[in-house]
Chains A and B, each alone.
With several copies, the nearest count.
Chain A
Amino acid sequence: MNVGNEGFEEMILDHYRNPRNYGRIEHPTSAITEYNPVCGDALHFTVNIRNSRIEDIKFIGRGCSVSMAAASILTERVKGMEIHEVEQIREEVFLKSLGIYLGPVREKCALLSLNALKKIAGGKRDES
């Protein structure tokens, strides 16, 4: 990552080294794999959605510090959310909440997880 706020940078590194919600849910209601071919990063999410609410979420994956940390942070945030709320998370807002300037390429890394979750949310919406 680039020029940034020390505290936020610490947060990213912490999530990278100790990702939260890391693993798989056994019988998820939804699952998705999202990848970034530019760097080969891949994230796999398993989610339990009940009554349009995210009850549980886990991920596994491989990637750079930014994509892994963003996935970890995002799982913490969305747990318990309504899926329509997930759909409404704006990219700029999520990026801003990470607190460091990423630049155009690494923004894609950071948004990998958000894109995945939006696809899950959109898919659920379509079905209902």
Chain B
Amino acid sequence: MFDSEEVKKDFPLLSRRDVVYLDNAATTQKPKQVIEAVIDYYENHYSNVHRGIYTLSEEATDMYEKARENIARFVGLRDASSLVFVRNTTEALNLLSYSLGTRLESGDEILLTEMEHHSNIVPWQFLQSKGVRIRYAKLTESGLLDVDDLVSKINRRTKILSVSHVSNVLGSINPVKELCSYARDNGIVSIVDGAQAVPHMPVNVDEIGCDFYAFSGHKMLGPSGIGGLAGKPEALDELIPFMGGGEMIRTVTYESSTYADVPLKFEAGTPNVEGAVGLSAAVNYLRRLGMQNVKKHEMDLMQHILNLEDEMSIRNLRSYGPRDVTHRGGVYAFNIGNQPSFSVDDLSEDSTLARGAIHPHDIAAELNKRGIAVRSGHHCAMPLMGLLGLAATARASFYIYNGKSDVDLFMSALLEISRGL
């Protein structure tokens, strides 16, 4: 097991800035190993990839493809060519919506869940204009996916199932392996949004058995602007290209074009090589800690915070998501007092905040005064917020450099704030 205090020392920002950084579901800090990998690439090997015959370009190509191999291995792919580099999870899901969308017809159904991030809702809504229908599997009282409800919504019009592996609001961990096997049995294309999973637990895409799996580098110690779309070789093969341009072609004439093989087919234009190189260094860092340990670490923090919640009984504090930490990632969404739901219609003279309630913006601002960084808002999950009857929440989310002392600081600050404003 690793020591989060030791880990923290690898992160220049965390020692330079006096901050308890608890916004890790949004994005994570970078260890010096990642920063150095990017600098090394700029200072010693920078060049364009794939088509250069000169030494620098060969080095860059080699680094880019080795990064692909390394990251592919990290997420359990047998074959590095099953990993497409994309900008982020959002791009991966849009790629899928565009490419798979061309196969769909009016009346076809896409099955999502009520806990999805906007990135796994809006791209599919684009297809509604052609008569495609979106359905949402319900959640249970405790904030877990209601698998029975999901299964009951599968029918012969269901063509795509796309679910998050871990919710970025509730932290709920979904049984994606089981879900993908339902999908397979019913001839449904299965997609997993792994943005909140790959950074926080061991993930083996081949084992999950999904057709496609998406994740973002910046949420797992890597640079921004790089992420992965992993897939079954045959599923990727069948997918029509998303963007056209350099690298992704085999031949182009004025009349028509033929395309390169996977993964290049989906990597039009000059790629973010430093992003790939940096993400590969991030993967090495995480591998050294051990993803099982990372998961355990966050589970411990989560248990600690839930225990403190019970012990401290902070006035009006309410938090969301499953209480059983074995089904929950390190995400803690909460409010102080009742928050009204987001609605433009139901304003009334006494619609100001209920007594004792503190708006999540004010909570975040007060925490910030105390050097603690949390997020407040809808967390790109407005529909889920609506379902919870809330306009917004505050959210603390943890990672490898957060320790119990961070949680303690956070909770005692909350206590103070709950008495204050």
Contact = CB atoms under 8 A, between A and B. Distances in A.
A124 B178 CA distance: 42
Given A2-B365, A33-B344, A37-B342, A65 B50 contact: no
Given A19-B352, A61-B347, A62-B352, A105 B378 contact: no
Nearest to A44: B347
B361 A106 contact: yes
Contact of A103 (B53, B352, B385, B391): B53
Contact of A61 (B342, B351, B377): B351
A39 B361 contact: yes
Closest CB pairs A-B (n = 8): A40-B391, A64-B361, A103-B58, A64-B359, A40-B342, A104-B61, A62-B351, A37-B251
19 contacts: A2-B55, A13-B421, A24-B349, A38-B378, A38-B392, A39-B378, A60-B348, A60-B352, A61-B347, A61-B351, A62-B347, A62-B391, A65-B361, A65-B362, A103-B55, A103-B61, A104-B58, A105-B50, A105-B57
Interface of A: 1-2, 13, 19, 22-24, 33, 35, 37-42, 44, 60-66, 68, 103-106, 109
B378 A40 contact: yes
B347 A23 contact: no
Given A60-B347, A62-B340, A104-B58, A39 B359 contact: yes
Contacts, number: 96
B344 A106 contact: no
A66 B361 contact: yes
A2 B50 CA distance: 16
Interface residues on chain B, size class: 35 or more
Given A44-B347, A109-B361, 15 more contacts: A2-B55, A2-B369, A19-B352, A39-B391, A40-B339, A41-B391, A60-B347, A60-B348, A62-B351, A62-B353, A63-B359, A65-B361, A68-B352, A105-B52, A105-B53
Nearest to A65: B362
A106 to B, nearest CB: 6
B284 interface: no
Nearest to B260: A37
A62 B250 CA distance: 18
B250 A39 contact: no
Contacts of A103: 53, 55, 58, 61
B142 interface: no
Nearest to B249: A37
Given A37-B250, A40-B342, A60-B347, A65 B421 contact: yes
